[in-house]
Structure 1
């Protein structure tokens, strides 16, 4: 974590945290948090919920959980988790337990390879790590670090207001520290752990004293979950100006190529965002900063470095600092802050901005990861679906396709394509699951459907071969996984079974109608709407593809006469829920289709889609595909 606890803070640097005073499992909360910008907020929510539950259950010691102690616990957990996420970059385990004395013990474990503790007598910290755990040390009654071969745990104990010594009655732990050690107490006030004493008009110390850690916690919540790096940069400016500086700027760079810096013969780097407390100075400041972009140092650390004061835009006097934005060891950009009329920034401001810069870098890294995943998903989605639906002579076609998750590959797919010799084929399918596994199955199924159809195979033969293809592919994947894994495979870690429900058919137009041969493999059955409003099913149910070895499928043939409409849907339509009721309960889809008599294909697709959406009070939670084929 980067901070050296003094001997007074803990005498057991390599020891484990104290055992609980009682074995009541209800007095313990435990969770694993992903190493992302959302982790600190999730950790605070868990702790608040646990404290509320313990109080409601009247557990031993819960009567001493004051609001002030709860706030201290939330802030401490936020700092521990933030440090773990930023410096270790792994998933984080959080444990919080209540002792019968009212003491709360917090443990945060990361999976970063452990390193030997530094000199316990040292009273300083490595500059690039900021002040986070020094504040933890001051806030907690005792704390320490447990080093293991594959993990590292930081633990801390927070005690309620004590009555254990003269002059300590009713004081919190930080207040007792300040009572016994005025110098350390002043540090706590500057850090925002204790309210400031009246000290005149020192604006920085007064603001910081009222809530530095609260500011960082709120900043974490604001930045976490932002999925656009430019928005993160904009929020950073609003957080810094005017609280901590008169102006600031954020440069963003490509984490792989370093684009964004001035290169030999290249264009000058441009700051992504620039703010000034005086809006009329923003453009002039931007132009000055573009002439003097920050240069990436050889060593990437978030610690502040001097930055040339842009005197041409803001006058001759002022101080400016540059902070590298680094997440997961990768440089993402630079944050520059400045204030007029100073020779140097106060230490309490530089430390606070350093802690803030870590959160900004974490949020930018998360936004970039999301953007990469969204781009990959969009490319996959485009490759898994046809570029256009083929036009079929004598058939009107309408399609509704609505993936539930806009950021990932859908499990539903469709296709309408010419198969040659006066034949056209159509398919509506649904893969078990979503995301990459679904994309693999669709990437197999759709090209093979086209290939087999154009090779002249009939509907039943196509399903037979596709079924065997999925089974063979799943077997090969399982064999590959068995060779790759040296140890036992945890549930969910191995290759997933690849099931596919599919409605597949072949259309052959002739004078006066369209001959349709089709088969349904574990899929919602297709419906035919006649001009008179009658509705009937057009296929018999059969087994899912990819389940039974050597399964033999059968097809059925119907003639679609002018005005007949074939409706094909996925289970996102039939299983749309309103409470415990599904859309297709009591033949709901057939009744809805009967009400579409006399409408053309486009209006039928639009009406069924609207009825499905209106059926539930919440947005659909499954992908939906709907294909309408109407004989003219």
Structure 2
């Protein structure tokens, strides 16, 4: 339906110059409209939450633009609506937005969503009860609007970026007709609401995506195996997120499982994405063949197919349960990563002699494997270069300092050992920035 606009009956003879008091009144009205739009824009920009933006839009619209208002915001499931008789300023407070599900394709809301125009209906020309039934999807809101004995209903599409994201509906009570200027003012207010809603929706969508990404990339919970205790500590280089370029993982059966710890080049979200890819590739490769050398070879070839040439350093250990003596049989391969340390029961610290090239740079790499045993009561400690290369006022923390630290924790639980290593590194840094730090300890409890 074409837009219809009520015009109030003029008090002067057509063609007669307007009086000074009329011109002053017009200027005051124009200034009030400008001030309303400026203030509304500032208040709408305060929040990047769609719900709060909708509520604020209703409370701003009443009574400046009407005696009752409703805001509907469309989503993939239909729409969310909120309305109120006074915008929460004096009487009943506007309720939270309510979902209304799929829209009737023939309804006024669906029509405005398609075409995004403005519709003005008046009691002189229309059955406003029928208009409200077509436009307002919730019965409780319709009853609020109908109780005003409305004289006009104005619906404005909330258009932003070529898309109608919602509808603003305002209703006036008896003897309050819209002028052309008030319609234009409501449309301008609708444009500001549309921008605020769109900004809030984009912010919430990106926040949801970031949260989903972080949930996927956060260090996994460690499995529980009989006669094996394990613990890990992770400290991101970023204060804003707990994901980064260091990672660890444990997977497999209790009598034959794979332990990995690694460091991808870079920091932050990009490094986190590569971390997730590397971890999934390793899990898939180990599912087929748990040989550490073959796992690293597969990871190297997969990384080399990526458009961005980025590398990963990694230590991969396969642990199997011995037949009679309770030992864990370990097979290790490394790709440009510090080999793990073995803390014996008597406090002796051993370092398996394993070396290898980082994965993702050189084609057709092969990796050597080193075998050793983890006897009952002994602990395997894997760590990233965020530990030994942590720089403080007195230089690097260093692998030698780490080896000297470990004998003090012979017999300690993996959780205690990991916490101690992290704490000593943090104290060494002395409050300065640091790389991602990851520590993983596995103790044979047979």
Q: Same fold (TM over 0.5)?
A: yes
* 1:427 is the counterpart of 2:257: no
For residue 209 of structure 2, what is the aligned residue in structure 1?
A: 373
By relative contact order (CA 8 Å, sep 6+), the higher-ranking structure is 2
Q: Unaligned stretches of 5+ in structure 2?
A: 4-21, 122-130, 133-140
Deviation at 1:616, TM superposition (A): 6.4
> Which of 604, 610, 613 is matched with 2:417 structurally?
604
* 1:449 is the counterpart of 2:286: yes
Change (3 A) 1:467 1:245: same
Q: What is the distance in 2 between the residues matched to 1:446 and 1:222?
A: 45
Q: What is the distance in 1 between the residues matched to 2:341 and 2:96?
A: 67
> Which of 169, 176, 185 is matched with 1:336 structurally?
169
Q: Deviations over 1:525-577 (max 9, x none)?
A: 42333455554544544210122223332232333233322222334555667
The answer (yes or no) to whether the contact 1:515–1:558 under 8 Å persists in 2 is yes
Deviation at 1:609, TM superposition (A): 4.5
The answer (yes or no) to whether the contact 1:324–1:334 under 8 Å persists in 2 is yes
For residue 259 of structure 1, what is the aligned residue in structure 2?
A: 78
Q: Unaligned stretches of 5+ in structure 1?
A: 1-126, 128-196, 261-269, 475-494
Change (3 A) 1:299 1:285: closer
Deviation at 1:333, TM superposition (A): 2.6
* 1:416 is the counterpart of 2:228: no
> Which of 548, 551, 562 is matched with 2:362 structurally?
548
The answer (yes or no) to whether the contact 1:302–1:325 under 8 Å persists in 2 is yes
For residue 127 of structure 2, what is the aligned residue in structure 1?
A: none
Q: Number of matched residues?
A: 391
Change (3 A) 1:557 1:416: same
Q: TM-score, normalised by structure 1?
A: 0.50
Q: What is the distance in 1 between the residues matched to 2:154 and 2:83?
A: 16
* 1:398 is the counterpart of 2:231: yes
Deviation at 1:630, TM superposition (A): 1.2
Change (3 A) 1:215 1:230: closer
Specify the SS of the correspondent of 2:258. strand
Q: What is the distance in 1 between the residues matched to 2:158 and 2:431?
A: 40
Specify the SS of the correspondent of 2:46. helix
Q: What is the distance in 1 between the residues matched to 2:202 and 2:184?
A: 28
Specify the SS of the correspondent of 1:230. helix
The answer (yes or no) to whether the contact 2:381–2:439 under 8 Å persists in 1 is yes
The answer (yes or no) to whether the contact 1:392–1:424 under 8 Å persists in 2 is no
Deviation at 1:445, TM superposition (A): 2.9
Q: What is the distance in 2 between the residues matched to 1:590 and 1:319?
A: 81
Deviation at 1:230, TM superposition (A): 2.8
1:536-615 map, 5 Å: 536-573=350-387, 584-585=397-398, 589-590=402-403, 593=406, 596-609=409-422
1:274-285 map, 5 Å: 276-278=87-89, 280-282=91-93
Deviation at 1:601, TM superposition (A): 1.4
Change (3 A) 1:406 1:316: same
Q: What is the distance in 1 between the residues matched to 2:420 and 2:198?
A: 45
For residue 179 of structure 1, what is the aligned residue in structure 2?
A: none
Change (3 A) 1:239 1:568: farther
Change (3 A) 1:450 1:540: same
Change (3 A) 1:321 1:574: farther
Deviation at 1:516, TM superposition (A): 2.2
1:406-555 map, 5 Å: 411-418=245-252, 422-432=255-265, 433-434=270-271, 436-453=273-290, 458-471=291-304, 473-474=305-306, 495-510=307-322, 511-531=325-345, 535-555=349-369
Q: What is the distance in 1 between the residues matched to 2:50 and 2:320?
A: 52
Q: What is the distance in 2 between the residues matched to 1:284 and 1:344?
A: 26
Change (3 A) 1:204 1:517: farther
Q: What is the distance in 1 between the residues matched to 2:327 and 2:96?
A: 73
Structure with higher Rg: it is: 2
* 1:222 is the counterpart of 2:46: yes
The answer (yes or no) to whether the contact 1:301–1:326 under 8 Å persists in 2 is no
Deviation at 1:581, TM superposition (A): 8.0
Q: What is the distance in 2 between the residues matched to 1:239 and 1:592?
A: 64
Q: What is the distance in 2 between the residues matched to 1:200 and 1:594?
A: 87
Q: What is the distance in 1 between the residues matched to 2:411 and 2:438?
A: 22
Change (3 A) 1:447 1:605: same
Q: TM-score, normalised by structure 2?
A: 0.68
Deviation at 1:366, TM superposition (A): 0.9
> Which of 76, 81, 86 is matched with 1:271 structurally?
81
Specify the SS of the correspondent of 1:434. helix
Q: What is the distance in 2 between the residues matched to 1:254 and 1:440?
A: 32
Q: What is the distance in 2 between the residues matched to 1:305 and 1:212?
A: 21
